[in-house]
Amino acid sequence: MNPTAFYALFRKDLKLFFSDKRAVLMSFAAPILIASFFGFLFSGSSKGDAAKVPAAAVDLDGSAVSKKLLAALAADKGLDLKAENLDAARERVRKGKATVAVVVPKGFGEDAARAFFRGGLKPEIGVLYDPSHTAELGMVKGLLTQHAMEVVSAEVFNGETGRVVRRDTLKELETTKDLPAGERVALKDLLGSLDRFQASQSTAKPGGTGGGGGMSMPFAMLESAVTSGDKIEYNGFAHAFAGMGVQFILFMGIEAGISILLLRQTGLWKRLRAAPLSRSTLLGSRAASAAAIALIILAVIFAFARLVFKVQVLGSFAGFAGVCLAFAFMTGAYGLLIAALGRTPEAARGLAIFVTLLMVMLGGAWIPAFVFPGWLQKATLLVPTRWAVDGLDAMTWRGLGFLDALPAILVLLGFAAVFGAVAVWKFRWQED
Amino acid sequence: MFQAQNLKKRFGAVQAVDGVSFAIQAGETVGLLGPNGAGKTTIVSMIAGLLTPDSGEIRLEGRAIASDTDPVKRAIGFVPQDLALFEKLGGRENLALFGALYGLKGAELDRAVDMALGLVGLADRQKDAVEAYSGGMKRRLNLAAALLHDPKLLILDEPTVGVDPQSRNAIFDNLEALKQRGLTLIYTTHYMEEAERLCDRLVIVDHGRVLKDGTLQSLYAELPAANLLEVEIEGDGAPLCEGLRCVAGVASAELRAGRLAVGVDNLAMGSAAVLAWLAARGVPVLHLASERATLEAVFLNLTGRSLRDA
Ligand SMILES: Nc1ncnc2c1ncn2[C@@H]1O[C@H](COP(=O)(O)OP(=O)(O)OP(=O)(O)O)[C@@H](O)[C@H]1O
Ligand SMILES: [Mg+2]
């Protein structure tokens, strides 16, 4: 190793990088811009103002029960509900203006109350949905179930419809043959005591029938995100800056590798090879300069994220620095790998960008890896970017300690070693 | 100071170099002359240690280059055929970088850079980025970049490709100055004029083999005629060629581009005889020119092909 030559080559790479406006813009402005955008998208929900699901409601029944159901749905903060006629609702869903339309059928109030005790013919609530929003469909079905149970049960136990239905059911029980005698007696007792219970309620609370009572969800959900501290909220910007930083730094690594291929197109490669330089000086200086640039990019974009979006290293700072350093080394080695395996700069760049985007996607830089299906979460452990993004996440918003950064650091250094070894092994030192 | 023994190099199906041997004395300037694809670049690349020969041996001051970092490489200055400069960096920055590759630093590096810039006359443009240089200036800087570590053997692979006549002259002046200082030069080209102007000795290669190795005088001596007359006449010259060849003092006669090309050893006596012969046959002479036989003719004589379209 020749330190004078190594340092001269290293400095030359930094100079060339920072004199290239396009490269600088790509490496600093692009990740900051895109990460800010993704950050806005993914951190909105933490402030409780998640977008409401646009929905339509069609009331073909017009009973007290259906009106109460629609009122309950309209009051739900997860829905932006609009009452409409059937055709208008169908049209809105078809055009994507509404995600779901709830159609309450004629006779719903009475049929639902009847079916509550005896099963039999259940009224069918129609749910028209936009097939591109099946996730929201599930949520709306849940809300619908909850509100329908509450409204219908309240009506059955307390409401006018309930009294009529109970009377009818009691009459029916006298004549019906399809219930075993024991059950018939039990059901009669239940309905009878309900009538008595309600009668006593209405004397105790004059004029009070329709209100209260009935069933409600047997629990409420108290949502609280689990992070490193009580006062700390999940910061979607932390993840977005880690992800985009990783992506654009790898792009920079690609260009570092391509720069070696470009040397071959001029006489520069020959000039460098004619000098008494070891191969480790030649390749090592380029990997080291790429790693240094990677560290500078990480420092700048996380400084920006801290100043503008309050992204902080809540965990171990040494762990954060370690992950950054290991990822920087991996980037340098990745560049050498491209230089070793690439033939022409153009072909190498196209393929390398594709592979990098794939790695970045699987690494959870765009969409966090924790939303991946289980098998994919396991499979992507083979992708270095996954470790980089998880490592940075762990040290920033998750606020974990140095020991939790260690696996990421070691794995990234391992990838760096493997990439570097393959690069040196496959590198074409002579034309042939 | 330098010997190459039976060098061979094959690229796939192409035997680029096929048993080349030659030697160079210290202080000598040797031209490696041959048409495109003759193997010149491959030969000098092997000498500079950029390519490993398939077989054969290269010795510089009695030693072969043993490794990438062998100090023997410091004795060589290599000027690649393609420009070898970082376009975005300044002229001085480029030279400082290439000096550092040979371990130069501090005042020693500054001195070497100043000297090289002075030699090629680029001192006043040293701060400008190379991309702003003219083609000729880039070629001169390309030459300067090989001189920083004060090599003993300077290898130049077609250093004047794509250069205007003025810059070419400037480069030749530089090379002559280096020659004066006692540097040994290997110079590849397919320009005859360049080889004639600069070289003490010529090694003529074609299809990866040495066709001829000798001083300029010895090569000229082998030519059938030392001078060439170019005679423009009225009418068809073809029937005259055979008769002209029988004239005393005429070595050759043929039709080239509608003109008679007549080779004579003695310019005064030969031209007189040719003109008299034509006058006696009543052939009007429109124009007469003469030129010394060139390396072009040497090559033509050796291969039967012209250098430029070989
Ligand atoms: N890297 C390579 N791969 C394959 N073939 C090569 C390679 N380098 C040279 N050749 C072939 O070897 C032969 C000699 O090439 P070389 O470059 O040495 O010729 P040259 O005399 O320098 O020509 P020129 O005057 O055009 O520079 C040519 O046929 C060329 O196509
Ligand atoms: Mg060549």
Which amino acid, B118? G
Domain end, chosen from B201, B220, B239, is at: B220
Nearest neighbour of A272 by CB, restricted to B11, B101, B105: B101
Residues of chain A below pLDDT 70 = 44-51, 119-120, 201-234, 432
pLDDT confidence of residue A153? 82
On whether the CB atoms of residues A130 and A98 are closer than 8 A, the answer is yes
Residue range A373-399, pLDDT digits in tens: 889 988 999 999 999 999 999 999 888
Domain end, chosen from B181, B198, B220, is at: B220
Residue range A131-175, pLDDT digits in tens: 877 777 888 888 888 888 888 888 877 777 777 877 888 787 777
- Look at residues B50, B1, B307, B154 and name the one whose alpha carbon lies nearest to residue B41: B50
Which residues does B28 contact at the CB level (< 8 Å), separation at least 6? B184, B185, B200, B201
The domain total for chain B is 2
Report the share of chain B in percent with pLDDT over 90. Answer: 60
Residue range B281-302, pLDDT digits in tens: 988 999 999 887 777 777 777 7
Do B48 and B156 fall within a single domain? Answer: yes
Task: Return the residue in A14, A260, A269, A270 with the most chain B beta carbons within 10 A, the one to mutate for interface testing.
Answer: A270
pTM score over 0.90: no
DSSP sequence for A155-223: HHHHSHHHHHHHHHHHHHHHH--SS-HHHHHHHHHHHHHHHHHHHHHHHHSTT--SSS-S---S-----
Do B95 and B118 fall within a single domain? Answer: yes
* Nearest ligand 1 atom, CA B9: 12
Tell me how crowded residue A25 is: count the other CB atoms within 10 A of its CB.
Answer: 11
Do B143 and B72 fall within a single domain? Answer: yes
Q: How confident is the model at residue B175 (pLDDT cuts 50, 70, 90)?
A: very high
Give the residue whose CA is nearest to atom 14 of ligand 1.
Answer: B39
B307 occurs within a structural domain? no
Do B256 and B127 fall within a single domain? Answer: no
Q: How many helices (H) and strands (E) does chain B have?
A: 10, 13
* Mean pLDDT for all residues in chain B: 90
At what angle are helices B106-120 and B91-101 packed, to 10 degrees?
Answer: 130
pLDDT confidence of residue A201? 67
Residue of B nearest to A431 (CA): B51
3-state secondary structure of A59: strand
Q: Is the pLDDT of residue B6 over 80?
A: yes
Which residues does A426 contact at the CB level (< 8 Å), separation at least 6? A340, A341
Do B168 and B255 fall within a single domain? Answer: no
Q: Both ends of chain B: CA-CA distance in Å?
A: 32
3-state secondary structure of A313: coil
Q: Is the pLDDT of residue B129 over 70?
A: yes
Do B88 and B237 fall within a single domain? Answer: no
Give the residue whose CA is nearest to atom 16 of ligand 1.
Answer: B39
B167 occurs within a structural domain? yes
Q: How confident is the model at residue B16 (pLDDT cuts 50, 70, 90)?
A: very high
Do B139 and B273 fall within a single domain? Answer: no
Q: What is the CATH number of the domain that holds B185?
A: 3.40.50.300
Domain end, chosen from B189, B220, B251, is at: B220
Do B34 and B180 fall within a single domain? Answer: yes
Q: What is the CATH number of the domain that holds B280?
A: 3.30.70.100
Do B249 and B113 fall within a single domain? Answer: no
ipTM of predicted complex: 0.84
B91-111: average pLDDT: 96
Contact between chains at A276 and B68 (C-beta distance less than 8 A):
yes
Q: Which domains does chain A have, with CATH numbers?
A: 3-44+241-426 (no CATH), 53-204 (3.40.1710)
Stronger pLDDT, A1 or B198, i.e. the higher one: B198
Do B55 and B135 fall within a single domain? Answer: yes
Do B136 and B273 fall within a single domain? Answer: no
* A274 contact B CB<8A: yes
Q: How confident is the model at residue B32 (pLDDT cuts 50, 70, 90)?
A: very high
B309 occurs within a structural domain? no
Interface of A with B in 236-265 (CB under 8 A): 265
Look up the domain containing B170 and give its range.
2-220
